[in-house]
Amino acid sequence: MSEDLSGRRIAHYRIDGVLGRGGMSVTYRATDVRLGRKVALKVIGEHLAPDAEFRERFVDEARNTSAIDHANIVPLYDFDEVDGLLYIAMRLVDGQDLAGHIKEGPLTPARTLTLLAQVAEALDMLHGKGLVHLDVKPANVLVTQKEGVREHVYVADFGLTRRGATGHRTRTGDFLGSPTYAAPEHLRGEPVDGRTDQYALACMLFACLSGRPPFQGGVQEVIAGHLSTPVPALSQLVALPPAIDEVIRKGTSKDPAQRFASCAELIAAARVALAGVAQGSAPDRLGPQSGSFPAQSPVSGPMPAQQGQFQGGGYQQPLQDPVRLRPPNQVGVSAFTSGKKERPAWFAPVIAAAVAIVVIIIVVVILSPGDEPARQPKTSSAPSLNIGDEPTSRKPLPTSVPVRTSP
């Protein structure tokens, strides 16, 4: 468990208390002492700080969020690293996430459409920039009131957001995230686009109107449901017209090409299907199979008590490690089970460079002139004389020696 930083100061932020804990990070209620405003400070867990992959995802979240300016997306104020701690400072939302509202039971059709229409608008804007959120779920939709007029929605948590990518994977090939609202192509590691988020939004529409997600049970059961089972008929769970079943069926089609053209189009179709329903009351549940949205308990230890007026600011998430998922065996070959080892991206450039170096060396050897014959040392025709072991100057020996005779 990450150390509680309450009472400490990171850069110019004074940490006032814990708002929520997750597998990757802890979100604190903090005060920007320079500007005197309250913020939500998301700090990466100390146990993940040395992990390069999680650090990269954390930095991606900051960059993706800062690049988006929309009324329904949580504004990012600051991002930095101090003493080995990575943090993101963002607007403190005083309210509750959508998961908390669904846990209390089905929402009214009018409220459902009001909230999800804002989510759809934010997602379509994101898709227009070529980005895909990839983690659309009730826990990442923060609900508050803006100027006391109506409930206002903020879409949060852009840690998985990608541009033109396949379903998110760790470097070891694992899917990282929750399967409860994940589209089939995301789970399989296939190419994703805005229709992937639309699938999740259609599942959220189902959850808001029924009080439960479309598929329940263990991890493998939920994955199998998204991959191969149609979403249950909503009209069989709650008292709603069958027209809404067709809307959700299309939004959750296993084939992305069969879904709506945009998230806004999905909500517009739902509005038409629910036009004749009493908008001011929640739909009645039908039969014993419906059940409420399952509550999740913290894996280790109770949630720290919060103090002050910012309690429950939409960041109450259970303490749990990121779930690494693999699909059921009967699904067949996918990104989870493929035995083919893919070469890293740097492999081809390195091999090409090595081949180029070898070619250059061969060309140089071929084109270089042949070795010149060794020059023979010049020798004198006259013999030389060495005295002892020491070499002496080479002087010609005399050809004749004069002989003196005595008189």
Q: Please indicate, yes or no, if residue 47 is contained in any of the structural domains.
A: yes
Sign, Cα dihedral of 178, 38, 310, 304: positive
d(CA 407, CA 400): 22
Q: Is 386 exposed, middle or buried (0-12, 13-18, 19+ CB in 10 A)?
A: exposed
pLDDT score recorded for residue 208: 97
Domain co-membership, 213 together with 80: no
Q: Are 174 and 216 in a shared domain?
A: yes
The dihedrals phi and psi of 130, each to the nearest 5 degrees, come to: 80, 15
Residues 147 and 285 in one domain: yes
Asked if residue 260 is part of any domain, the answer here is yes
In a domain, 356, yes or no: no
* 66's tokens: 């800062």
User: What's the CA gap between 5 and 43, in Å, rounded?
Assistant: 9
- 102 Cβ neighbours under 8 A, 6+ residues apart: 138, 207, 208, 211, 212, 293
User: Do residues 132 and 196 make contact, with C-beta atoms less than 8 angstroms apart?
Assistant: yes
pLDDT of residue 67: 73
Q: Please check whether residues 78 and 106 belong to one and the same domain.
A: no
CATH value at residue 75: 3.30.200.20
Query: Is 124 in the active site?
Result: no
Asked which of 91, 106, 135 is the last residue of a domain, the reply is 91
Same domain as 214, residue 246? yes
Q: Which one from 16, 135, 157, 245 is the annotated catalytic residue?
A: 135
Q: Which of 198, 276, 264, 195 is nearest to 235 (CA)?
A: 276
pLDDT number for residue 166: 46
Distance CA 266, CA 248 (A): 8
| pLDDT attached to residue 295 | 39
191 and 210 both lie in a single domain:
yes
pLDDT at 85: 84
Range of the domain at 257: 96-296+311-331
SS3 state of residue 329 = helix
159 & 26 share domain: no
- Given a cut of 70, the residues of the chain with pLDDT beneath it are 1-2, 23, 45-50, 146-149, 159-177, 278-282, 284, 286-346, 369-407
Residue 257 lies in a domain: yes
Q: Is 254 annotated as a binding residue?
A: no
* pLDDT for res 63: 77
* β-bridge mates for residue 41, sequence order: 28, 89
pLDDT of residue 387: 43
The CATH number for 240's domain is: 1.10.510.10
Count of the separate structural domains present in the chain? 2
pLDDT digits (tens, 9 = 90+) for 152-172: 999 988 766 665 554 444 554
